[in-house]
Amino acid sequence: MFEIDSNTISVSQLTQKIKSVLEEDFSRIEVVGEISNFTSASSGHKYFTLKDSNAQISAVMWRSTNVSFPIENGMKVNVKGSISVYPPRGSYQLVVTSMRPQGIGDLYLAYEKLKKELLDLGYFSAENKKKWPIIPQRIGVSTSPTGAALHDIISTLERRSPFAEIYLYPVMVQGNGSEKEIAHAINELDKLELDVIIIGRGGGSIEDLWSYNTRDVADAIYNAKTPIVAGVGHETDTTIADLVADHRAPTPTGAAEIVSINTIDIIRQTLDENQLSITNSINNSISNYKKELNNKFDRLKSSGIKNSIDLLKLNLDSYEKQLHKQILLNIQTKKIQLKNYANVISKMNPALPLEKGYAMILKNGERVKTSQVLSKNDKIKIIRNNNENIAIIEE
């Protein structure tokens, strides 16, 4: 301790000496008290007053200090830290470096120890989580037979999954030996080849919920073949059982709702999905037919030259037939004309009149058409039907 002599000192000097004494003598202390005036600043720092029935002290917890539970006014805590003096105001405060709730310190430490141990063993790993059917038909339930949790779970299951079979295994949920009962119930329900198991209870203190923070229950959940949904306490309560379970629900009612998706909702969803599937199928079929028609149309377009050639061939065949017919017609016409010409020529044949008794007179080999060309003593040839005679003109 500093000794104050009779010499006068300044406020700053006095405050500095107090600061040195307090910060040196109270650099590592543990204090028990009740939290009040708690404030969490936007900077992340936390300010509060730690008090008991006779005194109080201001306290601060810097942003870098982590606490694994929510801090509330009225909470009794054990804190570790040091005294810090602020000379400008002549005030001192407790700088808190760690905090744990008072009265549950041993349980809290045991919880953190088991949690770390199971974490290292992979009990919380997502890859170990099991899934249950969308519409479970066989549901196991383990909870207190007298608590409100049982009523909440059963009523929810009956309302949402009226066709499901419920297998109840009642247990003590707190007190000596309750963790053994809970673990045994899980093991027995696991033998029934159920679709899913619900374990849970209503809210309570950490002591009340402690059975669900034990290794026995954790092992039973982890080793079960059946998917397990835990709904222990309220939403703010997180037990070891919640962490190991395949799914954590905020409450027992929430656990029942999770495993029992409303049957009507499922039917509606199925109908909607089927309608969508049919619609998509029809649209796909129409689309495929359109593509097929377009492909055929493209092929027809690309084969236009061939079609033109085929058409020309057909036209050529038609023209050929028409030409052949016309030639035959022309030949027939010419035959008729020739026949007519033959008749005309036949009528002009000079021998034809001779067959009727007429005679043809030739003078010097030329036909005599009139007597005027004949003179006395002209020698002529008289031709009658196949007969020829020579005559001399006398007069």
What is the block-wise mean pLDDT of the chain (395 residues), using blocks of 10 residues? 69 90 92 93 94 93 82 88 92 92 72 92 94 92 93 93 92 91 96 96 86 95 97 86 95 93 68 76 75 71 63 71 81 79 63 65 74 73 74 73
Tell me how far apart the alpha carbons of residues 203 and 251 are, in angstroms, rounded to a whole number.
Answer: 8
Say what the pLDDT of residue 138 is.
96
Tell me how far apart the alpha carbons of residues 155 and 170 are, in angstroms, rounded to a whole number.
Answer: 16
Tell me how far apart the alpha carbons of residues 358 and 41 are, in angstroms, rounded to a whole number.
Answer: 160
Say what the pLDDT of residue 370 is.
72
The closest of 208, 189, 210, 214 to 199, measured between CA atoms, is 189
Say what the pLDDT of residue 75 is.
85
Say what the pLDDT of residue 309 is.
64
Phi and psi (nearest 5°) for 5? -90, -175
Say what the pLDDT of residue 82 is.
95
Q: Tokens for 103?
A: 């009265």
Say what the pLDDT of residue 338 is.
73
Say what the pLDDT of residue 168 is.
96
Q: Which helix (H) or strand (E) holds 333?
A: helix 304-347
Say what the pLDDT of residue 181 is.
95
DSSP secondary-structure letter at 212?
A: G
Say what the pLDDT of residue 300 is.
63
Longest dimension (CA), the chain: 217
| CA dist list (Å): 333 to 49, 319, 320, 322, 323 | 137, 20, 20, 16, 15
Tell me how far apart the alpha carbons of residues 103 and 180 are, in angstroms, rounded to a whole number.
Answer: 25
| Residue with token string 């309302």 | 159
Say what the pLDDT of residue 311 is.
67
Q: Torsion angle, CA of 199/200/205/211, rounded to 10 degrees?
A: -20
pTM of the model: 0.47
Say what the pLDDT of residue 71 is.
84
Say what the pLDDT of residue 345 is.
62
Q: Which helix (H) or strand (E) holds 296?
A: helix 263-302
Write the CB contacts of 296 (distance below 8 Å, at least 6 apart in sequence): none
Say what the pLDDT of residue 105 is.
62
DSSP secondary-structure letter at 292?
A: H
CA 117 to chain centre: 39
Tell me how far apart the alpha carbons of residues 278 and 65 are, in angstroms, rounded to a whole number.
Answer: 59
> Under the phi-then-psi rule, with left for phi > 0, alpha for psi from -120 to 50, and beta for the rest, what region is 90?
left
Evaluate whether 233 touches 209 at the Cβ level (below 8 Å). Answer: yes
Top CATH class, 11-103: mainly beta
Instruction: Tell me the fold of 108-126+134-261.
Output: Rossmann fold (3.40.50)
Length of the chain: 395
Write the CB contacts of 319 (distance below 8 Å, at least 6 apart in sequence): none
Say what the pLDDT of residue 303 is.
62
Tell me how far apart the alpha carbons of residues 26 and 21 are, in angstroms, rounded to a whole number.
Answer: 8
Q: Tokens for 367?
A: 């036909």
Tell me how far apart the alpha carbons of residues 258 and 249 are, in angstroms, rounded to a whole number.
Answer: 8
